[in-house]
Structure 1
Amino acid sequence: MTAPFEFRPTHVAPGDGLQTWTGPDPSRPSVRLDPLLPLQLLSTSGNWARILCSNGWSAWVDGRLLVALPQHPPGTGEALGTGEDPRPLLAALERSLASYRRLLDDWAAGRIDLETFRDGTRNLRLGAVLDGASAWLLDLDQGRWYYCDGTRLQTYATVDRDGAA
């Protein structure tokens, strides 16, 4: 017996809709999707993306135009903790991002080779999602995702030390 179909949207169509094609071929256009229609990304081929709609219909689209939905990490099952000042974690995230940027600039400019770039970034992990005043920030030293309302951090979920939620 096969498992029942479970549609889990990962993206939506952009606000002005989205042209579809029957295959990853611009000469075979199909229907246009409604604006903000929930979609599930199935696969990609270059800039092409194969999507699935909630009714089971699939098509190919320009994957660069898909709008990703934020995927929340699973909760810890614990109540939200007391708030902490978000600034120290934000400073640590800024340092990690700056380190990555320096290594990327050095590699792009030819000052370091790819192996040195990979070695320098091997233990860099950074997680931040900003949505207006709300932020979800990853602190791997503490093994936690935090939610920030702009004034306080609250534990949102725990992660393993390899960075998976």
Structure 2
Amino acid sequence: MDRPYEFRPTHVAPEDGLQTWASPDPSRPSARIDPLLPVQLAGTSGNWARIVCSNGWSAWVDGRLLVSLPHRPPGTAQPLATTDDPRPLLAALERALASYRELVDELADGRLDLETFRRRSSGMRLGAVVDGPAAWLLDLEQGRWYYCDGTQLQTYATVERGDT
């Protein structure tokens, strides 16, 4: 039985977005994709890379500009573990973002000086990319990036504390 297409990003677009082409031909430009949009590398031809987006749309890009996502942890040929409920991690990310937002508000309102802001925000780390129903969430306590489809978390990559 054929399995349905499962989107697994391998790269993201660079911070300023990325021009696409209908084929590996610079005379046929297409749409521009958003900054940091997760994409899956589907093939290459020289410096050209064919990418697929989470909605199944495919295009060619300058593969040298793609930003590689972390690789799967070594020795994970079997399916990676899943966690049933993504809500505890989402709540932790919300709390971390709210703490950072509060510091930014205090700095913007003049209630904090820049040095105090830097000191109090030092060591804060959080990560979340949401693209429609798909999300990639960083859990520093577990040292893992998770892929979330809205119903469960699946380990996507492990990270060292200094890698984030």
TM-score by length of 1: 0.60
Q: Give me the whole-angstrom Cα distance separating, in 2, the residues matched to 1:157 and 1:71.
A: 12
- Counterpart AA for 1:12: L
The aligned counterpart of 1:106 is: 106
Where does 1:40-51 land on structure 2 (aligned, <5 Å)? none
Aligned to 1:92: 92
Contact 2:100 2:121 in 1 (8 A): yes
Structure 2 CA distance for aligned equivalents of residues 88 and 36 of structure 1: 37
Q: Give the corresponding residue for 1:48.
A: none
Indicate the residue corresponding to 1:75 in structure 2. 72
Q: Structure 1 residues 32, 100: CA separation in 2 closer, same or farther (over 3 Å shift)?
A: farther
Whether 1:12 aligns to 2:9 is: no
Q: TM-score, normalised by structure 2?
A: 0.60
Matching residue of 1:36: 31
Residues 127, 137 of structure 1: 8 Å contact kept = yes
Paired positions, count: 115
CA RMSD of aligned residues (A): 3.0
Residues 69, 137 of structure 1: CA spacing in aligned structure 2 closer, same or farther, 3 A cutoff? farther
Asked whether the equivalents of residues 140 and 163 of structure 1 are also in contact (C-alpha less than 8 Å), the reply is no
CA distance in 1, matches of 2:112, 2:13: 40
Q: Residues 94 and 9 from structure 1, CA distance in 2 versus in 1: closer, same or farther, beyond 3 angstroms?
A: closer
- CA distance in structure 1 between the aligned counterparts of 2:113 and 2:81, rounded to whole angstroms: 44
Letter of the aligned partner of 2:146 in structure 1? Y
Counterparts of 2:159 and 2:102, CA distance in 1: 27
Q: Does the residue aligned with 1:126 lie in a helix, a strand or coil?
A: coil
Is the alpha carbon distance of 1:70 and 1:85 closer, same or farther for their aligned partners in structure 2, counting shifts above 3 Å?
A: farther
Q: Kindly report structure 1 stretches of 4+ aligned residues shifted beyond 3 Å.
A: 8-11, 68-71
Rounded to whole Å, the distance in 1 between the matches of 2:130 and 2:67 is 10
- The 8 Å contact of residues 127 and 137 in structure 2, kept in 1 or not, is answered as yes
Letter in 2 for 1:106: E
Q: Secondary structure at the match of 1:35?
A: strand
Q: How far did 1:36 drift?
A: 3.4
In 2, the alpha carbon distance for the partners of 1:69 and 1:88 equals: 32
- 1:163, 1:102 → 2: CA distance? 25
Q: Which has the larger radius of gyration?
A: 1
Matched-pair contact (CA < 8 Å) for 1:13–1:33: no
5 Å matches for 1:54-69? 54=47
Partner of 1:62: none
Q: Is the 2:13–2:67 Cα contact (8 Å) retained in structure 1?
A: no
